[in-house]
Chain A
Amino acid sequence: MTSFENEKKAIAAAMVAYKVPGIQKAAADAKAAGMEATEIIEAMGAGMSEVGVLFERGKLFLPHVLSAANGMSAAVKALEADLPKDQVGVKLAKVCMGTVEGDVHDIGKSICSTMLQCGGFDVVDLGRDVPSKDFIAQVKDNGCTMMGLSALMTTTMTVQRDIIGMLKDAGLRDNVKVMVGGAPVTQTWADKIGADCYSESASEQVDRAKALLG
């Protein structure tokens, strides 16, 4: 039984090179060599993690990450016929992301949303200055099981605590994993307000979000 090491290496290299046709070709070559569709997708997932590391180190940038994710999506689509029906179009979890009410900072949250999307999550980006009730509605009415709350100011980070309180009051706290982030936010703050997850960077956030899935 072959371990398809050469194909895996070619897929990883294509992901890091982030060109859509290159990724499609590497996946098609792996399939032609007899590699299972699920294995090919796993190899692309590993390549995507490497792309995340290079983004973190400032060697690749947001459009490159998106291009790699786009290439992976196209390759997965071509493999769909070979996948078990219950694995087609499956996302890891549905996450609502937003910058909390009173805070108009956007870019950090947007990068986190993009990285989660590239990491296989179904992301609902609510934007910035999001009314707290809108986060609750996403859990109640839109099936979100994870939530990312961004705050870039010491004056707005307290809204993260308020939203966790609102989730408790609505009896929804156990239905959702709450992730917090933003410049003034720390692990100590996350612990203090009872959040499930804090991370220092967008790439780390994807790993921690996956870890929350159990």
Chain B
Amino acid sequence: MVMFTRMGDGRRVETTRKQVIDDIYLGMSHAAECSEAKPLSGDEVDHLADILCSEGKVLGVAPGNEVVLTEDGGPYKLMIDSGSSGNGIDMSRTESIMVHERALGMDSFQLAHIDYSIKAVKPIISYEMMVLEKVQAMTIVPLFYGAMPNMGLYYKPDGPFGNPADLMREFKIEEAQHEAEAASDAIAQDIEFITDRIMAAGGEGFNFDTTASAGDADFAGTLKGIEKMRKSHPDSYIVMGMSAENVLGIHGEIEYDGKVVAGLYPHEQVKLAEKAGVNVFGPVVNTNTSKSLAWNLARAITIVKQCETASKIPCHVNMGMGVGGIPMSETPPIDAVSRCSKAMVEIAHVDGI
């Protein structure tokens, strides 16, 4: 029987159940090749095929199997209007947070600044403390402050440290590594500075979103910063979400807790996150736009399940445009989003999304 499915770029294409199952096996083996993840069982493959081949446009988990939702990006998704994304509703950050709490039913939420980066928040932290205190007085939802480590901003031309990418093209490899290490130490200090003030303003914790976007030194620096935050604020709640499925080796040899962090996959990343003091870890699996939804979802589930199995802390998988099996499409199609979400909960057994 012919049915509709999606490609990784969101296109609707025709498929058959046999093709879906073939793609599930191919996606699983690709996951095993990359991250040495264990393949799904025969029953799990059948269940995944049932989900993917279901006739319903929107699918959901059975009552009682719902999971909690965390969020990244903060209040801006309602507020911004960039022409092709955002909702463009004219409101303040406080109002947007209240809408997320009271109308959209978020289980937790976060205040964030439009620049959404550790470095950018540092000079305006006093203003952010005032807003956080005000929003805390008007809401009951657990409220984080959120920002990306975004260590690229510490490199030239935005920051004081030499840009490793430029230095390496001149074969100045040791100098590039030295600059990355210095930037890594600087971001750890800035994380301590910012989180101390966020906690002083009554924040319940911090969401480190899109961690390691500048590679392995970004990851190591963020973990060091989190370690400092955990030491100073033992009761704080710390969420760490990743930027990609494996840690890009820009430095190549930088370590955290005696382990080289470059190339780590989610099941290895989460162990270091645990050590640093993270409460909730957000694994990422990237979508391949040239492959089918079945291939991408099977691959994502296989990798995330391995992470969930290895982890002692809750894992809230990143599910959205171009991650978690979901197509890379500006408005991800709900048929694909709901199938991926249901499968992540029922097969990978994630604690949250």
Contact partners of B334 in chain A: CB under 8 A: none
Q: Which of A60, A61, A106 contacts B216 (CB 8 A)?
A: A61
Tell me, yes or no, whether B195 is within 8 Å of chain A by CB.
no
Tell me, yes or no, whether B134 is within 8 Å of chain A by CB.
no
Contact partners of A123 in chain B: CB under 8 A: 169
Contact present for A186 and B165 (CB under 8 Å)? no
Please, what's the 1-or-0 string for B56-83, where 1 marks a CB less than 8 Å from any CB in chain A? 0000000000000000000000000011
Residue of A nearest to B247 (CB): A58
Contact partners of B214 in chain A: CB under 8 A: 107
Contact present for B250 and A62 (CB under 8 Å)? yes
Q: In the complex where A184-B328, A186-B289 touch, is A63 in contact with B169 (Cβ < 8 A)?
A: no
Q: How large is the interface on A (under 10, 10 to 19, 20 to 34, 35 or more residues)?
A: 20 to 34
Contact present for B246 and A58 (CB under 8 Å)? yes
Contact present for B34 and A57 (CB under 8 Å)? yes
Q: Which of A117, A125, A155, A183 contacts B328 (CB 8 A)?
A: A183
Contact present for B34 and A58 (CB under 8 Å)? yes
CB distance from A155 to the nearest CB of B (A): 5
Please, what's the 1-or-0 string for A170-214, where 1 marks a CB less than 8 Å from any CB in chain B? 000000000000011011110000000000100000000000000
- The answer for the CA separation of A61 and B9 in the assembled complex, in Å, is 28
Contact partners of A66 in chain B: CB under 8 A: 168-169, 171, 173
Chain B contact surface mostly: loop
Please, what's the 1-or-0 string for B163-191, where 1 marks a CB less than 8 Å from any CB in chain A? 10110110101001100000000000000
Contact partners of B216 in chain A: CB under 8 A: 61
Contact present for A106 and B168 (CB under 8 Å)? no
Contact present for B253 and A63 (CB under 8 Å)? yes
Q: Which of B8, B165, B173, B290 contacts A110 (CB 8 A)?
A: B165
Chain B positions 298-335 with a Cβ under 8 Å from a chain A Cβ? 321-322, 328, 330
Contact partners of B8 in chain A: CB under 8 A: 186
Q: In the complex where A66-B168, A66-B171 touch, is A61 in contact with B330 (Cβ < 8 A)?
A: no
Contact present for A61 and B262 (CB under 8 Å)? yes
CB distance from A186 to the nearest CB of B (A): 4
- The answer for the CA separation of A107 and B153 in the assembled complex, in Å, is 11
Tell me, yes or no, whether B263 is within 8 Å of chain A by CB.
yes
Contact present for B328 and A61 (CB under 8 Å)? no
Contact partners of A186 in chain B: CB under 8 A: 8-9, 289-290, 328
Chain B positions 218-255 with a Cβ under 8 Å from a chain A Cβ? 246, 248-253
Tell me, yes or no, whether B18 is within 8 Å of chain A by CB.
no
Tell me, yes or no, whether A70 is within 8 Å of chain B by CB.
yes
Q: In the complex where A62-B249, A63-B253, A184-B328 touch, is A114 in contact with B169 (Cβ < 8 A)?
A: yes
Nearest 8 pairs between A and B by C-beta? Answer: A61-B249, A110-B165, A61-B252, A58-B263, A186-B9, A63-B252, A186-B289, A70-B171
Point out residues on A near B: beta carbons under 8 Å.
57-64, 66-67, 69-70, 106-107, 110-111, 113-114, 117, 123, 125, 127, 154-155, 183-184, 186-189, 200
Point out residues on B near A: beta carbons under 8 Å.
8-9, 11, 33-34, 82-85, 152, 157, 163, 165-166, 168-169, 171, 173, 176-177, 213-216, 246, 248-253, 262-263, 265, 288-290, 321-322, 328, 330
